[in-house]
Structure 1
Amino acid sequence: MSRRYFGTDGIRGRTNQWPMTAELAMKVGMAAGKHFQRGSHRHRVVIGKDTRLSGYMVENALVAGFTAVGMDVVQFGPIPTPAVALLAHSMRADLGVMISASHNPYADNGIKLFGPDGYKLSDEDELKIEAMLEQDIALAASPDIGRARRVEDARGRYIHAVKSSFPADLRLDGLKIVVDCANGAAYQVAPSALWELGAEVIAIGVTPNGVNINDGCGSTSPLLCQETVVSSGADIGIALDGDADRLIVVDEKGQIVDGDQIMALIAGNFARDGLLRGGGLVATVMSNLGLERHLMGQGINLERTKVGDRYVLERMREGGFNVGGEQSGHMILSDYATTGDGTVAGLQVLAALVRAGKPASEVLHQFDPVPQLLKNVRFSGGKPLEHEDVKRVIAQAEAELNGCGRLVIRPSGTEPVIRVMAEGDREDQVKDVVERICDAVVRVAA
């Protein structure tokens, strides 16, 4: 069954345009609420959101849908995605909902769903909810309509959980840390967690106004974090995205440390401490070939999945891995969280920094990446990758890179874009291959 609403990370789109409308949000609440009414207990859903202006609208629509089918609602307000996953499980909820479009601009929004175990929904559950969106859904009898309430200490509960992931024998005293919260969901919790562990905190991206989330700040726009680290003489910078499930790190020189380097650091440390499970780590096809070679040198396997943290997590659960993530900064450390958590991963990086007693630039740059180039080609319709001319150019490129590089071409799961990535030992060859494929896609998509 093909998907109409759910993409690689829930339902996402431009607000007040299909499918991200209040009408559909209410129907999602009704369908998901009905689907997760299992057993005779009083059913409960917990809802968090980031700081987008449209969050109020989507939240109210979801609350209406859930209560209409007899499910009680607990509202957290602005809180990171991993906090919703954590609290859904700890509060014995039947369902968790995060209202966020992650790293997208404020005009977009999305709905992410978590099951009672704190994990993102399976494909099977999503398809069943999709099918219900096309049907009439039975409403609760008047006496059985759900109730809604707000919980004010949700952020405190999450801060406690985050701090518990940091080694008990370490403190952050003496470290000056820049934390960029992208004017998003972690604008209160991330600086507080770092301060409570003893750090001197310089917080930026902590003045959300509904329209400035991810705007010139955060993990997708790290320049502000880089400049602040250098100008303030900080030891390290941590940049989160709008819903705080990913991070990018900046060393004391202002250099960016991406998800591949972070995974190499954490997996290597876990392996040396005998804590790495599954025999390696799980990443996506987008992770740099240099990471794979670096891990092989340490006897650590790298397993690759399709792009999307849900696919990384699925493989982690199947294979018993406890470290996984994406080059973009999604880090899943299953010993501490059931989904990507930028703050938890950041604390593991800081623990490594404290133990090493060396500058971040010496600790965090684990390997030299091979030349890699990613370009996005936007198209208006059709299936350019199925065109014979494009197939021919791709086949030629694969033959040229055979043995010395990789080629990854995929349509985006959230927007009409084809992503073309190549990497190899020769930068000029990588650039030439990507440009030829992009040109071919543009020609047939015009």
Structure 2
Amino acid sequence: MSIIRFGTRGWRARYDDGFNEESVARIADGVATIWQEAKPHSRVLVGDDTRFASREMAMLAAEVMAAKGLRVYLSDRICPTPALGWSISKDPDAVGGLMITASEAPADYGGVLLLMRDGSPATRIFKDELEATMPPSAPEGRGSYETINLMDDYLCHILSYVDKDLICNAHLKVMVDPMYGAGEGYLARILRDIGCDVTEIHGGLHDDFAGIHPDPMEPWVDDCEAGTVSSKADMGLVLDGDADRLSVVDEKGNLLTPKTMIPLLMDHLVTDRKRNGKVLATISCSSAIKTQAKRLGIPLTETLVGFNRLYAEMWDAQVMLATEEYGGVCIPSHFPERDGLLAALLMVEYRAMRDEPISQLEEELERAIGHYDYGRRDIRMDYGSIDSFRLMLPGLNPSSLAGKKPKSVSHGDGLKLTFSDGSWTMIRASETEPMVRIYAEASNSVERMKLMKAAIQLVRSSSL
């Protein structure tokens, strides 16, 4: 029996190291037991991405849950995670859902993501209960499920969020890269439907994703960057493996990092769309987001790292947008989870409304809020070392770092040091992997690298 432990984004494992029919069946049986006891004979929705054997695993999960007495509906086609989550949130009879996906992980990984009745990922309490409820071996019972079209209503809904006539009249040329993931075909189609000239790359089914990782960051976005320039597109849009995150490429082939994309989106929502409300961001996000919120005159609340930490705050009806360090964007009025396709439509609307190149909008943003140089570095450890480091980290309190005395020290989520010039660094142990994550931000790359190197040295010396 393999050990199954759920992290912040569900459970993932390599195909040759635990992701198999037995594990999926055990998870499906455990979650069905909980849901059947809580709300007998409720509806459960199931979706799957484009990975090898995802469809077969989704069918298996549907059969196992149906055998427990639940009414199970499996998406009749490839289904992005946001489409499944939104569909659950709009179904009054749904108790939750199960998505077969490993999101941005490499092609040799599979995974299971559990969604609650509002479409948000399962809480830690629910996952702990599931881990205690799962049977030690795969159940034998199988039931019948039905198939359902989850995509048409979802796509119609996200299109209703934007000004379709405005976008159509802008005659934009867009490069779309779904990275062989669950967004394949969908984003390109709806953009064409509203008048964009779209070229899609990395589409279709490839068991190995043609060697790329479906993670919208360097170097995996190289083809989209080059294609945006060579095709003279106005912008490139890159989705991750399950289409819950977006990255944008400007017309010059430069990737917009979250510290740029999120403030631009905030500007669009507040200035162009006249929206108002609070922004939620994790403490590992760039200070550019905080500065932009102040410039726009909207409140910002910071939470501990992890999108799951943002959910507790989303019940406030005043929340306009929530985001985390990777650039995932949630519009709570849509539903309480990230949606890369909706974020893409909003960025296209922004480009159409401003009628300026994306690179020019970037330059205007930097003039308004200043330059921020942000970076992250991951340090892997063995399990014994990471456990020791987790115990030691709350007591780590350096008087200086890189020759700078901290203005404030926080142990709320690892260790975060903020300095009088606005620069900062943060050290935290991953909750799900034997890894320490180090963040640093300053006004230029030289100062940021000094902080990063000093923080790395602090971690290594402290873990000896």
TM-score normalised according to structure 1 size: 0.88
- The CA RMSD measured in Å over matched residues stands at 2.9
Q: Which amino acid aligns with 1:117?
A: D
Equivalent residue, structure 2, for 1:26: 25
Q: CA deviation at 1:200?
A: 0.5
Contact kept, 8 Å, 2:181 with 2:214, in 1: the verdict is: no
- Mark the CA change 1:364 to 1:163 in structure 2 (over 3 Å): closer, same or farther: farther
Partner residue, 1:235: 234
- Shift in Å, 1:386: 4.5
CA distance in 2, matches of 1:403, 1:178: 42
1:348-387, aligned counterparts within 5 Å? 348-364=346-362, 366-367=365-366, 368-382=370-384, 383-386=387-390
Write out aligned runs for 1:274-289 (5 A): 274-277=274-277, 280-289=278-287
Query: Residue 120 of structure 1: CA displacement?
Result: 2.1
**Structure 1 counterpart SS, 2:319:** coil
CA distance in 1, matches of 2:245, 2:72: 27
- 2:64 aligns to what SS in structure 1? helix
Cα displacement string for residues 426-445 of structure 1 (whole angstroms, at most 9, x for unaligned residues)? 54343123223324434665
C-alpha spacing 1:186/1:326, structure 2 compared with 1 (3 Å): same
| Matches of 1:348 and 1:239, distance apart in 2 | 14
Please state whether the residue corresponding to 1:36 is helix, strand or coil: helix
CA, structure 1 residues 421+128, in 2 after alignment: closer, same or farther (shift >3 Å)?
A: same
Tell me the secondary structure at the aligned position of residue 179 of structure 2. Answer: coil
Structure 2 Cα separation of the partners of residues 314 and 23 of structure 1 = 33
Task: Give yes or no for the alignment of 1:155 onto 2:156.
Answer: no
Aligned residue number for residue 187 of structure 2: 190
SS of match in other structure, 1:317: coil
The answer as to whether partners of 1:379 and 1:445 remain within 8 angstroms in 2 is no
Deviation for aligned residue 1:364: 4.5
- Pairing 1:326–2:324 present: yes
- In structure 1, distance between residues paired with 2:83 and 2:433: 26
Structure 2: runs of 5+ lacking an equivalent: 407-417
Residue type of the partner of 2:193?
E
Residue 436 of structure 1 is matched in structure 2 by 454
CA-to-partner distance for each residue in 1:400-439, whole Å, 9 max, x for gaps?
Answer: 5522222221223443221111112354343123223324
Among residues 398, 406, 419, which one is paired with 2:424 in the alignment?
406
Matched, 1:172 2:173: no
1:75 maps to what in 2?
74
Supply the AA of the counterpart residue of 1:412. Answer: S
**2:47, 2:79 within 8 Å by CA — same for their partners in 1?**
yes
Aligned pair partner of 1:212 in 203, 209, 213: 209
1:194 is displaced (CA, Å) by 0.8
Structure 1 residues 121, 414: CA separation in 2 closer, same or farther (over 3 Å shift)?
Answer: same
Decide which moves more: 300-309 or 394-403.
394-403
Secondary structure (helix, strand or coil) at the match of 2:167 reads coil
Query: CA contact under 8 A between 1:184 and 1:214: conserved in structure 2?
Result: no
Pair 188,394 (structure 1): closer, same or farther in 2 beyond 3 Å: farther
**Aligned AA (2:232):** G
**5 Å matches for 1:106-121?**
106-121=107-122
Give the Cα–Cα distance (whole angstroms) in 2 for the partners of residues 294 and 358 of structure 1: 20
What amino acid is aligned across from residue 96 of structure 1 in structure 2?
G
- What is the identity, as a one-letter code, of the residue corresponding to 1:311? R
Matches within 5 A, 1:303-318: 303-318=301-316
Match of 2:178 in 1: 181
- Note the C-alpha offset of 1:148: 1.5
Q: How far apart are the structure 2 equivalents of 1:286 and 1:118?
A: 25
Q: Deviations over 1:13-55 (max 9, x none)?
A: 223424x342222121111112112577632221111111141
* SS of aligned partner of 1:307: coil
Amino-acid identity (%): 23
Give the secondary-structure state (helix, strand or coil) at the position aligned to 2:315: helix
Asked if the contact 2:118–2:335 (Cα under 8 Å) also holds between the matched residues in 1, the reply is no
- Cross-structure match for 1:104: 105
CA distance in 2, matches of 1:354, 1:222: 23
Residue in structure 1 matched with residue 197 of structure 2 by the alignment: 200
1: CA distance, partners of 2:426 / 2:37: 42
CA distance in structure 2 between the aligned counterparts of 1:197 and 1:216, rounded to whole angstroms: 30
Structure 1 pair 252/40, CA: closer, same or farther in 2 (3 Å)?
A: closer
Q: Distance in 1 between matches of 2:371 and 2:284?
A: 12
Helix, strand or coil for the counterpart of 2:455? Answer: helix
Aligned residues: 436
Query: CA-to-partner distance for each residue in 1:341-374, whole Å, 9 max, x for gaps?
Result: 1110111111111111111222355234422231
Give, in angstroms, the shift of residue 113 of structure 1. Answer: 1.1
